[in-house]
């Protein structure tokens, strides 16, 4: 059945589909392709499956979406048989789950590990891609699916003198596989996003001293993590059909939770405070669902932000440290909100100190210290929790040439352009899973991954059924979609923050709000309508 197997250079290794990445997206894509009779090969740069959960092994790493929801829904048996141990699964357990899925569905035999895809060139005569891998092979594929992940290109900032530092330097997004022991060491932690906020309390328990270098104070809500009981797991399992339906079709971010029906200013001050308290006590991301206008209206947002600032002041005993930890540079939620266990409390420990590097940026890293405002903070090890070149970074690392030899990096020089986040005009038969222009990082990633993979799989079946060779985003449809993504974003408070959603954490990266903020339910309906109308906005030949 395989058109790709027949078309390219005689004797070349050829597949219908090459999938880049064996994280949650790549694994499910492979499973679907197999089930539909397509030949497929997955290339994965890591030594195992799991993607982000393979690399992010830092102390305290766990998911901020509840484990019963941060899981595949495509197999009823899988979701009934897997036992999550905690409300928020720790990284090792999520990695174990990814490995279980790979084994249960016999996926490994089509995955080549420790292999990067370095280059992909579209051959306009053969209508197929030549894919060059890091082991020097070139394979042919009619289709390429980039399942490269949104937060997979870890970024160590270019800080003066870093190369002179004599101790170990770790990055949370590329953590060693062997145990890292900070016992007796003075540790410097740079970065206070989700990774820094999760790791600080654990490192502080082990290290002799922890110095946290903070550029931007962040909003964080207690996780209230706990072991899951059999009753809780059973309740989820019984209600999975409704929970999954709701997450896909109703919830804006793909998470089943009570949806707000009013704005923050519709309630009196005491009622509002009681609601915030209830959500703070409950813990987790749903703090932001108390009201339906926290991302839209500054005055409404201020009420939630003030509540959290008040909580920080209550928890942190030193008033100056509390003041520094209170975020003031962005509306709450416009940078990814953090979920923590004892983060603010950690600053009450005698072996923890906070250094403000907003007012006085790091001047230099020396052999044994981080120098700020002329003072050397001595450290034996450095932990960079400095984030990722998000959404586009891992795609940009692949040298992708589309029609007329244009590279994707040239096309995206002013910011990523896609139609529905799925394809980019000029690059036929190249799909992106949860790419810029789709809800992606604003959602429960597994819900969005399953939706994209299913949509791509359906489109491939359509192409095969119609005897077609290519699918490509139409340039005008893409322009309209990019404008729509932008317009929706600018109707919210999100672009106010210097966030990685905006590319603001990477010097020189264009400031574009990359994900689609219209909500996963709305987005799914748009994608389904496009398909139902004969893939409107795509050119198929």
How do beta strands 538-540 and 471-473 pair? Answer: antiparallel
Name residues whose C-beta falls within 8 Å of residue 488's C-beta, 6 or more positions apart in sequence. Answer: 516, 517, 518
Q: Is 225 in the site for ligand N01 (CB under 6 A)?
A: no
Q: What's the min distance (Å) between Cβ of 159 and ligand N01? A: 6
Among 8, 26, 149, 196, binds ligand N01 (CB under 6 A): 196
Stretch that binds ligand N01, among 184-192, 229-237, 508-516, 533-541 (CB under 6 A): 184-192
Pair 428, 125: CB distance under 8 Å: no
> In the range 366-405, which residues lie near ligand N01 by CB under 6 A?
385-388
Pair 362, 379: CB distance under 8 Å: no
Rounded CA-CA distance 326/319 in Å is 11
Residue whose CB is less far from ligand N01, 159 or 489: 159
Among 63, 187, 322, 477, binds ligand N01 (CB under 6 A): 63
Among 145, 151, 332, 463, binds ligand N01 (CB under 6 A): 151
Only one residue has tokens 């190249």, namely: 430
Rounded CA-CA distance 26/147 in Å is 5
Burial 305-337 (b: 16+ CB within 10 A, else e): bebbbebbeebbeeeebbebbbbeebbbbbbbb
Residue whose CB is less far from ligand N01, 316 or 445: 445
Stretch that binds ligand N01, among 75-83, 188-196, 225-233, 240-248 (CB under 6 A): 188-196
Q: Is 191 in the site for ligand N01 (CB under 6 A)?
A: yes
Residue whose CB is less far from ligand N01, 191 or 495: 191
Only one residue has tokens 């145990």, namely: 179
Q: What's the min distance (Å) between Cβ of 148 and ligand N01? A: 15
Which neighbouring-strand residues pair with 129? 122, 141
Burial class (CB in 10 A: 0-12, 13-18, 19+), 181: exposed
Rounded CA-CA distance 79/97 in Å is 11
Rounded CA-CA distance 249/255 in Å is 10
Q: What's the min distance (Å) between Cβ of 150 and ligand N01? A: 8
Among 97, 500, 516, 523, binds ligand N01 (CB under 6 A): 500
Q: Is 149 in the site for ligand N01 (CB under 6 A)?
A: no
Q: Is 216 in the site for ligand N01 (CB under 6 A)?
A: yes
> In the range 308-337, which residues lie near ligand N01 by CB under 6 A?
336
Query: What is the phi/psi pair of residue 350, to 5°?
Result: -70, -20
Rounded CA-CA distance 243/237 in Å is 9
Q: What's the min distance (Å) between Cβ of 364 and ligand N01? A: 12
Name residues whose C-beta falls within 8 Å of residue 512's C-beta, 6 or more positions apart in sequence. Answer: 415, 416, 436, 486, 502, 503
Q: Is 505 in the site for ligand N01 (CB under 6 A)?
A: yes
Q: Is 198 in the site for ligand N01 (CB under 6 A)?
A: yes
Draw the binding track, 420-459, toward ligand N01 (x: CB under 6 A; -: no contact).
---------------------x------------------
Residue whose CB is less far from ligand N01, 33 or 68: 68
Q: What's the min distance (Å) between Cβ of 259 and ligand N01? A: 22
Q: What's the min distance (Å) between Cβ of 429 and ligand N01? A: 30
Stretch that binds ligand N01, among 102-110, 191-199, 303-311, 312-320 (CB under 6 A): 191-199
R_g over Cα of the chain: 23
Residue whose CB is less far from ligand N01, 194 or 293: 194
Rounded CA-CA distance 484/491 in Å is 11
Rounded CA-CA distance 343/340 in Å is 6
Question: Around Cβ 385, how many Cβ atoms within 10 Å?
Answer: 24
Crossing angle of the two packed helices 298-315 and 269-282, in degrees rounded to 10: 60
Residue whose CB is less far from ligand N01, 370 or 485: 370
Residue whose CB is less far from ligand N01, 111 or 362: 362
Residue whose CB is less far from ligand N01, 272 or 335: 335
Stretch that binds ligand N01, among 19-27, 193-201, 264-272, 462-470 (CB under 6 A): 193-201
Q: What's the min distance (Å) between Cβ of 266 and ligand N01? A: 30
Q: Is 89 in the site for ligand N01 (CB under 6 A)?
A: no
The count of residues interacting with ligand N01 (CB under 6 A) is 27
* Residues of the shown chain interacting with ligand N01 in the complex, contacts defined by CB under 6 A: 63-64, 151, 157, 159, 172-173, 190-196, 198, 215-216, 336, 339, 357, 385-388, 441, 500, 505
């Amino acid at each position: 059945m395989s058109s790709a197997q027949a078309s390219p250079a005689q004797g070349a290794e050829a597949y219908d589909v090459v999938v880049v990445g064996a994280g949650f997206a790549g694994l499910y894509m492979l499973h679907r392709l197999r089930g539909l009779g397509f030949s497929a090969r997955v290339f994965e740069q890591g030594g195992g499956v799991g993607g982000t959960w393979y690399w992010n092994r830092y102390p305290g790493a766990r998911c901020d979406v509840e484990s019963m929801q941060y899981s595949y829904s495509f197999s009823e048996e899988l979701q009934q048989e897997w036992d999550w141990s905690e409300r928020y699964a720790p990284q090792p357990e999520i990695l174990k789950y990814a490995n279980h899925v790979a084994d249960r569905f016999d996926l490994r035999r089509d995955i080549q590990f420790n292999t990067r895809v370095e280059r992909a060139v579209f051959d306009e005569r053969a209508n197929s891609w030549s894919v060059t891998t890091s082991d020097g092979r070139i394979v042919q594929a009619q289709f390429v699916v980039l399942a490269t992940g949104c937060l997979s290109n870890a970024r160590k900032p270019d800080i003066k003198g870093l190369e002179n530092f004599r101790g170990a330097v770790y990055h949370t997004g590329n953590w060693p596989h062997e145990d890292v022991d900070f016992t007796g060491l003075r540790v410097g932690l740079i970065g206070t996003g989700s990774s820094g906020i999760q790791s600080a309390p654990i490192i502080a328990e082990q290290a002799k001293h922890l110095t946290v270098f903070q550029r931007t104070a962040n909003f964080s809500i207690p996780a209230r993590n706990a072991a899951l009981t059999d009753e809780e797991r059973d309740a989820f399992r019984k209600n999975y059909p409704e929970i999954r339906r709701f997450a896909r079709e109703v919830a804006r971010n793909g998470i089943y939770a009570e949806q707000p029906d009013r704005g923050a200013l519709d309630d009196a001050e005491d009622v509002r405070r009681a609601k915030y308290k209830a959500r703070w006590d409950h813990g987790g991301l749903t703090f932001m669902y108390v009201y339906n206008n926290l991302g839209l209206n500054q005055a409404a947002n201020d009420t939630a932000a003030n509540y959290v600032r008040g909580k920080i002041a209550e928890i942190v005993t030193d008033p100056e440290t509390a003041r520094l930890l209170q975020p003031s540079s962005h509306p709450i939620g416009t940078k990814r909100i953090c979920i923590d266990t004892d983060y603010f409390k950690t600053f009450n420990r005698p072996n923890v100190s906070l250094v403000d590097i907003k007012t006085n940026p790091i001047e230099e890293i020396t052999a044994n210290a981080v120098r700020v405002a002329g003072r050397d903070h001595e450290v034996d090890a450095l932990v960079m929790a400095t984030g990722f070149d998000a959404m586009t970074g891992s795609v940009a690392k692949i040298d992708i040439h589309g029609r007329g030899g244009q590279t994707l990096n040239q096309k995206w020089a002013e910011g990523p352009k896609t139609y529905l986040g799925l394809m980019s005009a000029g690059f036929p038969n190249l799909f992106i899973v949860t790419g810029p222009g789709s809800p992606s990082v604003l959602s429960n990633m597994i819900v969005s991954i399953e939706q994209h993979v299913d949509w791509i799989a359906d489109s491939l079946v359509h192409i095969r059924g119609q005897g077609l060779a290519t699918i490509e985003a139409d340039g005008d449809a893409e322009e309209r979609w990019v404008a729509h993504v932008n317009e929706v974003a600018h109707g919210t408070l999100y672009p106010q923050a210097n966030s990685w959603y905006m590319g603001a954490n990477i010097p020189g990266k264009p400031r574009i709000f990359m994900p689609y903020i219209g909500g996963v339910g709305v987005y799914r309906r748009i994608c389904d309508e496009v398909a139902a109308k004969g893939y409107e906005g795509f050119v198929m030949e």
